[in-house]
Amino acid sequence: MTGIVVLLPGATTIYVLWRLFLFLDRLAGDLVYPFTGIIPGLGLLLTLLFVVLAGLLTTNIVGRKLIAMGEYILLKVPFASTVYRTAKQIVEAFIRQDRRMFREVVLVEYPRPGVYALAFVTGETKGEVRDKVGHDMLNIFLPTTPNPTSGFLLMVPKADVIPLEMSVEEAIKMIISGGLVTPPYRSR
């Protein structure tokens, strides 16, 4: 099970690129073969070109508008919208992770006293909530297993939060694996 958790993201990427390569290679072969014969590496070249163009397209205004239009259409198709929304949430969660969406890994007592859950600090509780409660609170994201992109927002008193030394990446691996992957503990 641990091997699957570790290998799945890379294997999925390779599979998608392989399918794209096969599709573009077949398409190019059907279009070009009658005129030039087989051109070795054409499918690979087209796959790389497609990935680079997709990246360039998303970095300009026209490209963003086209993507927004395609997204709008996809979101209207019943099954495709669910798949697309889920994939997009997962990608966005990991992109945000690089920007330090989660500050640190903590333990909180949840769902009852004496039972602890791994969670992430997303910030300090401010504004109306802070004023009404009257003491320092932290915004805590409590992810679900095995999909850490969904979970609960908890506002927990700072005194009730137990900071951990493990990295955000180690905690995510532990959550996705349901506790099968436990990071090494570096005791002080």
pLDDT at 24: 84
Identity of the residue numbered 161: V
**pLDDT averaged over every residue in the chain:** 83
pLDDT in tens, 54-95: 777 777 777 788 878 888 888 888 887 787 877 777 666 655
pLDDT at 100: 59
The pTM of the full predicted model, rounded to 2 decimals, is 0.50
pLDDT at 125: 94
DSSP states of 49-106: HHHHHHHHHTTSHHHHHHHHHHHHHHTTSHHHHHHHHHHHHHHHHHHHHHTTSS-EEE
pLDDT at 124 over 90: yes
pLDDT in tens, 114-123: 999 999 999 9
DSSP state of 188: -
Main-chain phi, psi angles of 157, to 5 degrees = -60, 135
